[in-house]
A = this chain, B = another copy of it.
């Protein structure tokens, strides 16, 4: 459903949202180690996200990637869109040509509500999403690491 690229990107952005700010930046190397992602790969992925404004970065010593309240106005969906190009939630489960509520496949009643719940979640702003994680105690970086 999601490519590795998207998964990596989402986790990285959320890591920055939770742990960084303008005075506390993280290099690609650190993020890669922390989230167990190939260094060069994540470095590439973060570039377009910076360009889009979903995360911030600064070159040079004491530079790195970081997150500002402004960055938090974007949504998880935006990350996916930047990385994948477009609507990843178009192609559905069995890849039928013209299906949907009126022509449901055998798993539509399972897939459709799942999709809409997920989409609702992914349409939250990153700031909200972060709040939620704090409140619900959900994790992205696992406790075993670091």
Picked from B106, B121, B132, B142, the residue with its CB within 8 Å of the CB of A138 is B106
Which residues of B sit under 8 angstroms from A106, Cβ to Cβ?
14, 121, 129, 132-133, 136, 138, 140
CB distance from A12 to the nearest CB of B (A): 11
Asked if A62 CB lies within 8 Å of chain B CBs, one says no
Picked from B14, B96, B129, B133, the residue with its CB within 8 Å of the CB of A142 is B96
Q: Is the interface of A mostly helix, strand, loop or mixed?
A: loop
Tell me whether B4 and A108 are in contact (CB under 8 A): no
Which residues of B sit under 8 angstroms from A118, Cβ to Cβ?
107, 110-111
How many A residues touch B, CB cutoff 8 Å?
A: 38
CB distance from A68 to the nearest CB of B (A): 21
Which residues of B sit under 8 angstroms from A4, Cβ to Cβ?
95
Which residues of B sit under 8 angstroms from A136, Cβ to Cβ?
104, 106
What are the 10 tightest A-B residue pairs by CB atom distance, in nearest-first order? A114-B114, A1-B1, A7-B95, A106-B138, A110-B117, A98-B142, A104-B138, A103-B139, A106-B133, A7-B94
